[in-house]
Structure 1
Amino acid sequence: MNIMRLSILSILLAWCLQSIAQETPIAKINYVFRHMNDTTQRDKFTRDEVSTFLGKYSSYYTSVSNEKFNASLKEKMSSPSFDGNILLNKNFTPAKSAYVLDTEKKNLQHIFRIVSDEYLLEDTYPQLNWDIQEETKEIGGYSCQKAITTFKGRTYEVWFASELPFPFGPWKLHGLPGLILAAHDIKNEVIFEFDGFELIEEGTTQRIEPSAKAVKASVTEVEKLDKLYAENPNGYMQSRGGNSGRVVAGTPGTSFTFKSSSPGSITTSNGSNSVANIKSISIKNDENYNPSKITNNPIELIP
């Protein structure tokens, strides 16, 4: 048994002594998510990097692409050679929805993000019926077993690892006697590829819950706000009182939002406020990443 597995077992033992009220993540699993959102362009997929933060009773699924992108931008601005010009290639489309799943309370919380604003929407706890198969294979060094379920109009094939005793996985997929390491629907239109499993250091302040700034809203309200942002980003910022960050124009059809402690500023690792030093920003899709802007094939085919 290697050191990683020993660490997992020791943390799980301590974790079992926690109360539900103290739920914090002890590990996370990373996936590369791909979605064929437009069936008229079947060779094109949206792409995202996502993670599920894992607790004993609950999990938190979210996109981490923007976080990594912001880190890349900050690194460039902190460099001594920074000349005020930023050129970044983008190969992802961050999901706007995140989910907190609680298996004890049978509760699912849907967090919808518009820039740095978060809206809390009502959602239905997913009840999944699994058919566990005999077929096995290895993923990421873990022995996995196959399982199948039908959910929201799609049939999913997943691979779960019993030695990682978390009943969770990507998105809303959950309920197996082990962590789901990979999943896809049988048409290969929705795909979650394993991208690593890691333990989270003890003493983390992160909680498996919506952030304090998440506000309750109806689906209708959020749809209107999302449409406003898509059509007029700066107009959306003004309607929110300028508290969502600052949008800086890049190449035609693109924009980038600086997230910071104070509107309109970003502080780099050397302590300088670098927004005023920016001469130009060019953010464009990688030449190999050109997903359709049309969605006629949502992940959930059935509401």
Structure 2
Amino acid sequence: MKKSIFLFCLLSGLFFYGQSQRFTYEYKFVIDSTAKDKQETEMMFLDISPKGSKFYSKDYFESDSIMNANFEKQIKSGTTDLQLTGMKFKGKVRYSIEKSYPDYSVNYYIILATDEYQVQDGRTQNWKILPNKAKIGEFSTQKATCEFAGRKWTAWFTTDLPIQDGPYKFHGLPGLIVKLEDASNSHSFELKGAKKLPAGYEWQSVKDKERYDPLIIVNENKYKKAFKDFLNDPMKGHRKMMGDGVITEVRDSTGKIIDPEKVRRDQEKRIKDNLKRQNNILEIDLLK
């Protein structure tokens, strides 16, 4: 009972005192429809502040932070030969989603090959709120359904937390989404924890970070075309870099330089094989 009261007070503080909050969701997904027994799990953060929210992978965020710190350390040391050895990104979810309050405009950030996109997604979820109620964890929840991105979704939301947000791009219900799953049971999100963020915390938008090349800003229709182009030719950007004279030197375990053309062919095959297995992505309508 004490734990329940503490959790409720902790979360309620967000709304009464403007305290920024981090909600942790467990995301379970099956990316290959031909291997439904191979379910994957990733912990996701939903950071909520007075100006908006940001949804992203815990593992990918932590890996990115470590890699950036490593690069900064190498640069400060004066080296001009940056080393990538031993650095590897964790996490399979590589996108992030930002919603700005109070209009809940959605921006989706993703990298395809060498291009980084900001997708301004103007779609909304037309929720049907149902009378069904259930207890999920510490929360009393109510059922709602909608169709979005080619899938039918069921959400359970709680009015104990009167904020109209949730995992991924989902929002617009009278309370925070505690659980969300699609009709095929291949994508689901469930709230697993929450904590207050430090006073004065304010997340930095992905669009404001330093980068070599500018963001490509598109709407969801133009992004769908770009996504299909990427599936058809995932190495287009790499070939352009080579055409511009940008050559990445790769060495084997003995230190011998590997033929860059062989590296490109091997990488292209690996990427195409991987993309073929990704036939059950969350936004399934991107593949149609």
TM-score category, normalised to shorter length? 0.5 to 0.7
The answer to whether the 8 Å contact 2:14/2:21 transfers is: no
Deviation of the 1:115 alpha carbon: 8.7
Deviation of the 1:112 alpha carbon: 1.2
Q: In structure 1, which of residues 52, 58, 65 is the aligned counterpart of residue 59 of structure 2?
A: 65
After TM superposition, list the pairs within 5 Å mapping 1:105-124 onto structure 2.
105-113=103-111, 118-124=116-122
Structure 2: gaps spanning 5 or more residues: 69-84, 254-273
> What residue in structure 2 maps to residue 82 of structure 1?
none
Quick one: which amino acid aligns to residue 29 of structure 2?
H
Deviation of the 1:238 alpha carbon: 7.3
> What residue in structure 1 maps to residue 12 of structure 2?
9
SS at match of 1:128: coil
Give % identity: 20
Equivalenced residue count is 241
> What residue in structure 2 maps to residue 255 of structure 1?
none
The answer to whether the 8 Å contact 1:144/1:159 transfers is: yes
Partners of 2:245 and 2:103 in 1: how far apart? 36
RMSD after superposition: 4.1
The answer to whether the 8 Å contact 1:106/1:125 transfers is: no
1:68-114: per-residue Cα shift (whole Å, max 9, x none)? 3467899xxxxxxxxxx969996x4123x222223533522121136
Partners of 1:235 and 1:227 in 2: how far apart? 14
Partners of 2:199 and 2:231 in 1: how far apart? 37
1:209-242: per-residue Cα shift (whole Å, max 9, x none)? 74344623453567767988x6599878879998
Partners of 2:28 and 2:37 in 1: how far apart? 12
From the superposition, tell whether residues 103 and 170 of structure 1 become closer, same or farther in structure 2 (CA, over 3 Å): same
> What residue in structure 2 maps to residue 51 of structure 1?
45
Partners of 2:41 and 2:215 in 1: how far apart? 28
Deviation of the 1:8 alpha carbon: 3.6
> What residue in structure 2 maps to residue 206 of structure 1?
203
> What residue in structure 2 maps to residue 300 of structure 1?
283
Structure having the higher strand fraction is 1
* 2:123 counterpart of 1:125: yes
Structure having the higher helix fraction is 2
From the superposition, tell whether residues 166 and 46 of structure 1 become closer, same or farther in structure 2 (CA, over 3 Å): same
SS at match of 2:163: coil
Partners of 1:208 and 1:40 in 2: how far apart? 37
TM-score computed with the length of structure 1 as normaliser = 0.62
After TM superposition, list the pairs within 5 Å mapping 1:1-303 onto structure 2.
2-15=5-18, 26-56=20-50, 58-69=52-63, 92-95=91-94, 97-102=95-100, 104-113=102-111, 118-139=116-137, 141-207=138-204, 210-213=207-210, 215-218=215-218, 219=223, 231=235, 294-302=277-285
1:22-72: per-residue Cα shift (whole Å, max 9, x none)? xxx711211122222222222123433221111346322122222334678
Partners of 1:175 and 1:8 in 2: how far apart? 19
Partners of 2:182 and 2:105 in 1: how far apart? 24
Does 1 or 2 have the higher relative contact order (CA < 8 Å, sep 6+)?
1
